[in-house]
């Protein structure tokens, strides 16, 4: 067995299965959001990669809602929100991974964010974006405009800094010997 040969997963090669639909979708997207879509990267030959759509920061909610509700797209499931620290300008990319439970196709939407900039929250579109955005805030320090409860979700709330930023030291331990105080609002 040649280990370098990509193994088709999830019921086959995604590009042959969804390539045509993706092409139609991205063309439609570019047409509808002409000023908003910055770039579209179609997947390379690797069988489980998906198209990447770069969207302007302020229009991300509209695009996400369009992807969710329009027939022929039907990306109803928000798999994850994450981010990358690229050491370029603008510094961060917020990444939305979408999945369609009915059509089984996936797409990735990216937003470029500079430091100290805010991204509109996706909670109006997906309620589940709440904790995902809190995680992005916790790990990268990217704020989400309109988020009702932007607290740390994984790290101790006395933690300083955001550990997945490139400039955070790999061994930047912050050891606390006392347990963190319970949030009084959670006890109600």
Does the protein bind other proteins through residue 170 (CB under 8 A)?
yes
Q: For tokens 């089984």, name the residue.
A: 104
Does the protein bind other proteins through residue 20 (CB under 8 A)?
no
Q: Which stretch binds other proteins (CB under 8 A): 41-49, 55-63, 105-113, 162-170?
A: 162-170
Q: Where are the beta strands (DSSP E) in the chain?
A: 37-41, 52-55, 77-85, 92-99, 106-113, 118-120, 143-145
From candidates 58, 86, 180, 183, binder to other proteins by CB under 8 A: 180
Helices (H) and strands (E) in the chain — how many of each? Answer: 4, 7
Does the protein bind other proteins through residue 168 (CB under 8 A)?
yes
Q: Which stretch binds other proteins (CB under 8 A): 7-15, 74-82, 110-118, 171-179?
A: 171-179
Does the protein bind other proteins through residue 39 (CB under 8 A)?
no
Cβ distance to other proteins smaller for residue 124 or 161: 161
Does the protein bind other proteins through residue 177 (CB under 8 A)?
yes
Please state the closest distance from residue 177 (CB atom) to other proteins, in A.
5
Does the protein bind other proteins through residue 153 (CB under 8 A)?
no
Q: Cβ of 27: how many Cβ atoms within 10 Å?
A: 11
- CB neighbour burial string for 120-137, b if at least 16 within 10 angstroms, e if fewer: bbbbebbeebbebbbbbb
Closest CA to 54 of 74, 26, 32: 26
Query: Alpha carbon of 38 to those of 66, 69, 105, 120: distances in Å?
Result: 16, 22, 22, 17
From candidates 27, 39, 156, 183, binder to other proteins by CB under 8 A: 156
User: What are the φ and ψ backbone dihedral angles of 6, each rounded to 5 degrees?
Assistant: -65, 140
Q: Strand 118-120 vs strand 143-145: parallel, antiparallel, or unpaired?
A: parallel
Q: Which positions from 94 through 113 interact with other proteins, judged by CB under 8 A?
A: none
Does the protein bind other proteins through residue 175 (CB under 8 A)?
yes
Does the protein bind other proteins through residue 183 (CB under 8 A)?
no
Does the protein bind other proteins through residue 166 (CB under 8 A)?
no
Does the protein bind other proteins through residue 174 (CB under 8 A)?
yes
Please state the closest distance from residue 118 (CB atom) to other proteins, in A.
25
Among positive and negative, which fits the CA dihedral 97, 101, 106, 112? negative
């Amino acid at each position: 067995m040649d280990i370098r040969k990509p193994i088709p997963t999830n019921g086959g090669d995604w590009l042959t299965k969804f390539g045509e639909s993706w092409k139609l979708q991205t063309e439609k997207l570019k047409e509808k959001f002409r000023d908003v879509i910055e770039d579209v990267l179609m997947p390379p030959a690797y069988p489980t990669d998906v198209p990447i759509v770069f969207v302007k920061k302020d229009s991300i909610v509209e695009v996400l809602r369009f992807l969710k509700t329009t027939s022929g797209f039907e990306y109803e499931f928000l798999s994850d929100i994450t981010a990358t620290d690229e050491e370029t300008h603008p510094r961060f990319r917020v990444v939305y991974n979408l999945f369609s439970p009915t059509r089984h196709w996936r797409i990735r939407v990216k937003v470029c964010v500079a430091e100290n900039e805010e991204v509109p929250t996706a909670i109006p579109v997906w309620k589940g974006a709440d904790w995902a955005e809190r995680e992005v805030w916790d790990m990268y320090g990217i704020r989400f405009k309109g988020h009702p409860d932007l607290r740390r979700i994984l790290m101790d709330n006395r933690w300083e800094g955001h550990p997945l930023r490139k400039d955070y030291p790999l061994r930047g331990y912050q050891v606390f010997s006392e347990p963190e105080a319970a949030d009084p609002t959670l006890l109600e």
